[in-house]
Chain A
């Protein structure tokens, strides 16, 4: 009977409860089935896992540290705060965990061309990186607005040999880049693998990306138990599509004593139209291959959204997050642009770590959480990326 309480998602039809699924044109169905079959055959294949582990260790630099943030802890004077250092991955964010896994899948699928979408550019860089390492052709779709605010990452992708295609439709951000990547895939599916950068899109992507990102939570579990002899009381992560969050949450889902908190981008504030608080204010619908919470109007047209952080600037969210919200297993709330900027500066000053704007949303939630913690509480923040890529935004927004 106990088995009924064990979390085991998605179903074989790719559903997390009612969420998820495969809402894509027929052209892609054979590729999705092939991807699922290949993934299911390699995920417990010792050769595949050995190759992936070797790359994670000797190329990506895992395991990443779990750092005790002593000055940040002193600042709040309450529970102990640890940082899971995904900023120390090769190329500067958690995105590599997924692209390394998927490039090995692409090789086994016999695909010669890789496409990806990118918002902040971190997934684009991580994809361009693995394509260079494995000698595969790489095309990255990126919204024009994001190209402007993340120009360093555009240049990095080009140095790595990728073709960066500017997307000028819609809001010219991550959602539109994803549309264009899917259209490319529909056209070139025979020789092309689409490396989706988050736990979004049609099944089996939300499952595959989650599994590859779960290394974050697995390491965290071992590390915190080594330091403290127990699981943490709270884990906080930012949620755009939600891959870093699922990555650190997933291994703890069956540990009900661990409170999981997902932080969305509140933009100018959730009382305005300019935010990305999908789970907080959206409602379910079908978009980009999945049934999930969406920001949309009464007619079902997808909203144009805003966040200072390109990586969170997305009107949808991974379907597993929608499911975890309805299960009440994860609490979701939001942080504004300004709160995130303050948190970025605070971590830089107190810990000597310059965080990505995405991760700064998770950090900013400490202002709300810490006053309610006790001295013996343990809080882990997933520091999903480093802030070097955001210098343009910091320079424009922070005045000394």
Chain B
């Protein structure tokens, strides 16, 4: 069984929500990255999404775009990202998901990429520019060892949500609002209604909600319609500061909202 799904299920069985934290590989510096990540896991992250920096991240808003630029300027390479993954997995049982763009995988070579990911202990992949239409071709000849996680959005039809649920492995990533990643001021009724509809349509997967999740209040508001939450830009923004204490406090407060 999928380790990712298993982890989320166990948390849900205790009446809690899962907290998945996105971190850009090699940000804010290559040196600080591993230590920061270990502390974030210690503070309560249930899953880690390790962002593979790409020069042209279409699905990302300003904060993650900039973190990718900085990581690339820091000299991050895909080999280094795999090394980070391996070192994270050495010290933690936390499921690890690589998130990034199609071209990174293509240029690395699909077979080699899958092999190196498995060897590093990676559990899943989220590739937002590979939608359902490209899924089968793109992930040929991948094995089933890595979960390939699909995204559903407010523009996905009911029929499509069902298809996405059937195809997605590990969990289904529910994008809260149309748009790029980034902090938002809050969620209106339309968002909660849409989440409710999506949540009820699923039969196979657990659903984690992401995009615009930045506060404990967001989590409390959306909790009835989610099995867990993904936080990215808010964490990346706080990591830009000198001290990581603020980030740790943020993770703790989000975790608290997940277990209440």
Chain A positions within 8 Å of B201 at CB level: none
What is the bound-complex CA distance between A287 and B151, given in angstroms?
19
B106 touches A286 (CB 8 A): yes
B104 at the interface (CB under 8 A from A): yes
A300 touches B151 (CB 8 A): no
Chain A positions within 8 Å of B69 at CB level: 169
B128 touches A25 (CB 8 A): yes
Minimum C-beta distance from B67 to chain A (A): 13
Residue in A190, A289, A296, A299 with the greatest tally of chain B CB atoms within 10 Å = A299
What is the bound-complex CA distance between A189 and B179, given in angstroms?
9
Per-residue CB contact flags for chain A residues 354-365 toward chain B (1 = under 8 Å, else 0) read: 000000000000
Minimum C-beta distance from B138 to chain A (A): 8
A186 touches B102 (CB 8 A): no
A298 touches B107 (CB 8 A): yes
Residue of B54, B58, B78, B137 near A25 (CB, 8 A) is B58
**Contact residues of A between 10 and 53, Cβ < 8 Å to B:** 13, 21-31
**Contact residues of B between 47 and 104, Cβ < 8 Å to A:** 54-56, 58-59, 61, 65, 69, 72, 77-78, 101-104
Chain B positions within 8 Å of A296 at CB level: 103, 107
Chain B positions within 8 Å of A188 at CB level: 178
What is the bound-complex CA distance between A222 and B242, given in angstroms?
68
- With A169-B65, A186-B179, A286-B102 already in contact, the answer to whether A26 and B107 are too (CB < 8 A) is no
Chain A positions within 8 Å of B205 at CB level: none
Minimum C-beta distance from B112 to chain A (A): 13
B152 at the interface (CB under 8 A from A): yes
Residue of B55, B101, B133 near A22 (CB, 8 A) is B133
B154 at the interface (CB under 8 A from A): yes
What is the bound-complex CA distance between A298 and B104, given in angstroms?
10
What is the bound-complex CA distance between A179 and B55, given in angstroms?
11
- With A286-B102, A286-B103, A296-B107 already in contact, the answer to whether A26 and B152 are too (CB < 8 A) is yes
Chain B positions within 8 Å of A186 at CB level: 58-59, 178-180
Minimum C-beta distance from A335 to chain B (A): 26
Minimum C-beta distance from B43 to chain A (A): 30
B77 touches A30 (CB 8 A): no
Per-residue CB contact flags for chain B residues 99-117 toward chain A (1 = under 8 Å, else 0) read: 0011110111000000000
Closest to B68 in A: A301
Chain A interface SS verdict (over half): mixed
A80 at the interface (CB under 8 A from B): no
B244 at the interface (CB under 8 A from A): no
What is the bound-complex CA distance between A179 and B65, given in angstroms?
11
What is the bound-complex CA distance between A288 and B180, given in angstroms?
15
**Contact residues of B between 167 and 183, Cβ < 8 Å to A:** 175, 178-180
Closest to A286 in B: B102
Chain A positions within 8 Å of B153 at CB level: 25-27
What is the bound-complex CA distance between A301 and B100, given in angstroms?
12
Residue of A169, A189, A301, A302 near B178 (CB, 8 A) is A189
Residue of B54, B108, B156 near A30 (CB, 8 A) is B156
Chain B positions within 8 Å of A285 at CB level: 103, 106-107
26 contacts between A and B (CB under 8 A): A13-B133, A24-B131, A25-B59, A25-B153, A26-B156, A27-B153, A27-B178, A27-B179, A28-B155, A29-B132, A31-B155, A179-B56, A183-B61, A186-B179, A187-B180, A189-B155, A189-B178, A190-B178, A285-B107, A286-B103, A289-B58, A289-B129, A299-B104, A301-B54, A301-B72, A302-B56
Interface residues of B (CB under 8 A from A): 54-56, 58-59, 61, 65, 69, 72, 77-78, 101-104, 106-108, 128-134, 137, 150-157, 160, 164, 175, 178-180
* 6 nearest CB pairs, A to B: A300-B107, A187-B179, A286-B102, A300-B103, A301-B55, A27-B153
